[in-house]
Structure 1
Amino acid sequence: MRAHVSAVTTVRRLLRRLAMQLRNETGAVLVIIAGGMVILLGMAGLVLDSGRAFVARSELSRAVDAGVLAGARALRSGESSARNQALAVSRANGVLPDDPRTKVDVVFGINADGDNTVTVTATRPMRTSLMRLLGRNWVDVGSTATAVVPPVDLIFVVDQSGSLGTAGAWDDLQDAARSFVDFFSDDLDQLSVVSFGTRGETRLPLQAPFRTAAKSQIDRMASVGWTNTAEGLQLAYDQLTGKKARDRAVKVVVFFTDGRPTAFRGTIGGDRRIMAVAANEWNVVRGYFDNPDDIPMDRWQWPADDACRNVVNCKIWKEGGHPPHGVRGRQIARDMGLAAANQIRNEDAFVYAIGLGNPLGSKLERPDTDYLSQLANEHGSVNSNQPAGRMYFAPSAAELRDVFQRVAGDLVIRLSR
């Protein structure tokens, strides 16, 4: 009997021990599960908050990119202006919310190539979500962008032919030209002024500083003579390839005219002369000039009385086997301009061509926009391996300032990268 009781008791004891062991293991499992859930939630929070941070950083990057480009475009107006522009555009794009912990810095420097740089760095704190389970309540989100502002060697080629004065556009042109010069920096850039009428002349060699001297030269010009497009462009080429030109600078020619080519320098009667053709008649030669370099730039000089003025066939001129006449001379003047522009573009230079004229006028009284587009190699239409410039057209003198401003704006945008 005692043995039987002892066996039951033993079984009960075993059952109690087993129950206690099960209870202890269940508690341990619950603890393990709870700890694991915290870790899993933390890891999920890391993934979630990393995604949120990526989106926030992308938004910040877009704002910083916009700000640094705005600063780069304004750098030619000084660092203070560049900083204000960078901050204003960054703010407009959301880089500076109301949170005072958001920081933005604008730094100016010079890179290894010697080019000026603008760098914008922005950081903002982002509150976490599930990562707070791991004790991380905030993460910093940041973005940095740098824009390079290369120097420019710019040749400003200005038509000063008599038609501008006749049309009452000369004063407007001088005013627009002076304002155009101010878009470029005495500290970063170099500028040369070339003008052309019956012949061309380098008014201001490529140099820095240039603002005061360039405006002074523009003021001294007078509207006289024919339109020797090729000579103006050839002188621009000479400046771009001269000793003052800098290898690291972006080379640009800004060319302005109000008409079609009506003069050129060539071998006429065995000597180097300039021939002028009528501006508004197809087949009339005005005459030639025996001593081209003696032609005054700022007062009228007509061909000598014996230079067959207004005569269709002028003296003896052996140019490609053709007798000289207005149509042939006009074509040669045109082709020489294209050849000079091609030389310029071969130097990896951009050509910006600006035309002024009444679009409703006769064909000879308005600029040849197709010709200007070819000078600029617009859209790479002439040679896709050369820099593609742009052509602009001002239908009236009153619009010249706006057109020059657009040209400068396009250049500044293109130069900021």
Structure 2
Amino acid sequence: MAYGVKAKLSSALDAAAIAAAKASSGGEAQARQAADKFFAANFPDGYLGSHPALGEVRVATNRDTGTVSVTVDSSATVPTAFMRVLGMDNIEVAARAQVVRQDLDMAFVVDNTTSLRQGSLGDVTDDVIRSAKAFIDKFNQDTDRVALIKYAYGAEVPVEIKKSGRGFEKNRIRREIERFNFGTNSNPNFTNSCEGFWRAKAQLESISTNRSSIRAIVFFTDGAPNTFSSTFVFDGPWGDGRTRSGSLRSGDNLPDPDNANRESGLWDHTRINSSIGSFHNFSRYVRRLPPYYDPRRTGDSEFRLFYPGSRRATSSAVDYDNINRISRNLLEDMAAAARRSNIYVFTLGLGSRLRDPSGPDSENGEDLLLRMANDRNMLGNKKLAADFRADEVSGLYCHAADESELDACYDRLASAIMRLTM
């Protein structure tokens, strides 16, 4: 009986220690509360006649290494039967568990586009802001490093990742999330997902020394990409062969010359919603699309714009099909490059639009988010199984059908990230 109680005690204590480590960002009180809950769930009082007691829960933070060590003790009293004739009415068994939570660098990317305010779900901006703040609260401001990125026509980094030392300013990130300014139907923002992702990847790679053991990008959106950035050559009265860096957008639907869904640009790729002077809505004067993604004019050729594959973008024509396909190709390429650098990608999609066909190839936006994360659930999907990359790190995708499911999705992503750190 004592051996059985000892095994049960150790198992319950492991669960309690892991739960305490996950909750340690809220301090020792929250860690203790989580440990109590999981210990009680895994070792009910009276098991084999025993009476357990959870002892001290100790949380030790090392700001230099970015690790958090959680130690939990417990004991149980086991009643005896035959040993009472020797004067031993009870046997005391004890156990100890320790969990070390590793260091984490994370870039949190949030869609700030029109549809979040006036899309099929109605105005969900308050829910998006609230759930994003709750997600940030799950991480340790003393040991984790976190950057915040927002995107629409272009992308901005309201809070950069800390380059030296550890930790992040949780209250500052919360304030910046509260300042998110989503577009309206009269002043729409389009979805330059790849620019938001590129900035997230650049934030993590800006730490050249003392990188964390675990690096992750968490990417939130409610739609498929339809905008991309590079450096373009302009002809005509607004160009005369001069170059401009910025964003071109295709719109959400098939092109119609009489409405706003036709291709247009340029917009400032360093801002959420800013046109570039007289070059706004003069995309027809772009001489041709460049071969590479290079809005910062560094000569970088890591990400190509043209592909001969199933999502064909094979010419330099400035048209709806090319712009939309390039926007999707770039995002997937950037996610793959991040994974090859052992950066985990976690994606969260909101709303039914992600499950509706869109773009010139009638693709579901959700499929793109699954491939970005390299989610193992693709293996059970005949259409996506071949796209899973077993030689790259695997993250997680979660779909929230509406705003009521956002918290549950963020909890799933946070739990998956925490598991990586233990």
Query: TM-score, length-normalised on structure 1?
Result: 0.75
Confirm whether residue 373 of structure 1 aligns to residue 370 of structure 2: yes
Q: Residue 171 of structure 2 corresponds to which residue in structure 1?
A: 212
Partner letter of residue 250 of structure 1? I
**For residues 407 and 401 of structure 2, what CA distance do their matches in structure 1 show?**
12
Q: Residue 58 of structure 2 corresponds to which residue in structure 1?
A: 107
- 2:153·2:273 contact (CA, 8 Å) conserved in 1? no
Moved more, 298-307 or 241-250: 298-307
**For residues 101 and 276 of structure 1, what CA distance do their matches in structure 2 show?**
63
Confirm whether residue 116 of structure 1 aligns to residue 90 of structure 2: no
- 1:282·1:326 contact (CA, 8 Å) conserved in 2? yes
> Alpha-carbon deviation of 1:202?
1.3
Distance change in 2, residues 1:113/1:171 (3 Å)? closer
Distance change in 2, residues 1:211/1:233 (3 Å)? same
**For residues 208 and 354 of structure 2, what CA distance do their matches in structure 1 show?**
42
Residues 184-215 of structure 1 show CA distances to partners (whole Å, capped at 9, x for unaligned) of 22123221111111111211101433221112
**For residues 194 and 370 of structure 1, what CA distance do their matches in structure 2 show?**
23
Residues 44-100 of structure 1 show CA distances to partners (whole Å, capped at 9, x for unaligned) of xxxxxxxx3322211211221222122122111111111122133223333765977
- 1:314·1:325 contact (CA, 8 Å) conserved in 2? no
Distance change in 2, residues 1:282/1:372 (3 Å)? farther
Q: Residue 128 of structure 2 corresponds to which residue in structure 1?
A: 173
Moved more, 97-106 or 157-166: 97-106
**For residues 28 and 233 of structure 2, what CA distance do their matches in structure 1 show?**
58
List aligned pairs for 1:44-59, cutoff 5 A: 52-59=1-8
- 1:195·1:232 contact (CA, 8 Å) conserved in 2? yes
Query: TM-score, length-normalised on structure 2?
Result: 0.74
Distance change in 2, residues 1:303/1:331 (3 Å)? farther
Distance change in 2, residues 1:240/1:305 (3 Å)? closer
- Equivalent residue in structure 1 for 2:268, among 292, 304, 308: 292
- Equivalent residue in structure 1 for 2:352, among 358, 381, 393: 358
Q: Residue 155 of structure 1 corresponds to which residue in structure 2?
A: 107
Q: Residue 37 of structure 2 corresponds to which residue in structure 1?
A: 88
5+ residue gaps, structure 2 = 184-188, 235-242, 292-305, 307-313, 379-386
- Equivalent residue in structure 2 for 1:316, among 272, 285, 288: 288
- Equivalent residue in structure 2 for 1:221, among 172, 180, 184: 180
Confirm whether residue 281 of structure 1 aligns to residue 254 of structure 2: yes
**For residues 410 and 150 of structure 1, what CA distance do their matches in structure 2 show?**
14
Confirm whether residue 383 of structure 1 aligns to residue 356 of structure 2: no
**For residues 41 and 403 of structure 2, what CA distance do their matches in structure 1 show?**
36
Q: Residue 164 of structure 1 corresponds to which residue in structure 2?
A: 116
Moved more, 85-94 or 244-253: 244-253
Distance change in 2, residues 1:132/1:416 (3 Å)? farther
> Alpha-carbon deviation of 1:180?
1.8
**For residues 35 and 280 of structure 2, what CA distance do their matches in structure 1 show?**
63
- 1:259·1:367 contact (CA, 8 Å) conserved in 2? no
List aligned pairs for 1:252-271, cutoff 5 A: 252-269=216-233, 271=243
Partner letter of residue 316 of structure 1? R
- 2:265·2:275 contact (CA, 8 Å) conserved in 1? no
Distance change in 2, residues 1:388/1:245 (3 Å)? farther
- Equivalent residue in structure 2 for 1:338, among 322, 332, 338: 332
Partner letter of residue 357 of structure 2? K
**For residues 299 and 265 of structure 1, what CA distance do their matches in structure 2 show?**
13
Distance change in 2, residues 1:152/1:96 (3 Å)? farther
Say which SS state the counterpart of residue 331 (structure 1) adopts. helix
Percent identical: 24
**For residues 138 and 146 of structure 2, what CA distance do their matches in structure 1 show?**
11
**For residues 125 and 276 of structure 1, what CA distance do their matches in structure 2 show?**
69
Residues 171-190 of structure 1 show CA distances to partners (whole Å, capped at 9, x for unaligned) of 33222222222222212322
Q: Residue 191 of structure 1 corresponds to which residue in structure 2?
A: 146
5+ residue gaps, structure 1 = 1-51
Partner letter of residue 268 of structure 1? F
- 2:50·2:79 contact (CA, 8 Å) conserved in 1? no
**For residues 402 and 40 of structure 2, what CA distance do their matches in structure 1 show?**
38
Q: Residue 237 of structure 2 corresponds to which residue in structure 1?
A: none
**For residues 280 and 147 of structure 2, what CA distance do their matches in structure 1 show?**
36
Moved more, 331-340 or 213-222: 213-222
Distance change in 2, residues 1:79/1:137 (3 Å)? same
Say which SS state the counterpart of residue 195 (structure 1) adopts. strand
Residues 277-313 of structure 1 show CA distances to partners (whole Å, capped at 9, x for unaligned) of 1112258642231x735x642567898466146xxx9
Say which SS state the counterpart of residue 153 (structure 2) adopts. coil
**For residues 65 and 355 of structure 2, what CA distance do their matches in structure 1 show?**
50
- Equivalent residue in structure 1 for 2:282, among 288, 307, 330: 307
**For residues 78 and 69 of structure 2, what CA distance do their matches in structure 1 show?**
29
Compare the two structures and name the one with the higher helix fraction.
1
Say which SS state the counterpart of residue 161 (structure 2) adopts. strand
Distance change in 2, residues 1:265/1:56 (3 Å)? same
Count of residues in Structure 1 that have an aligned counterpart in Structure 2? 360
Q: Residue 186 of structure 2 corresponds to which residue in structure 1?
A: none
Say which SS state the counterpart of residue 297 (structure 1) adopts. coil
Q: Residue 239 of structure 2 corresponds to which residue in structure 1?
A: none
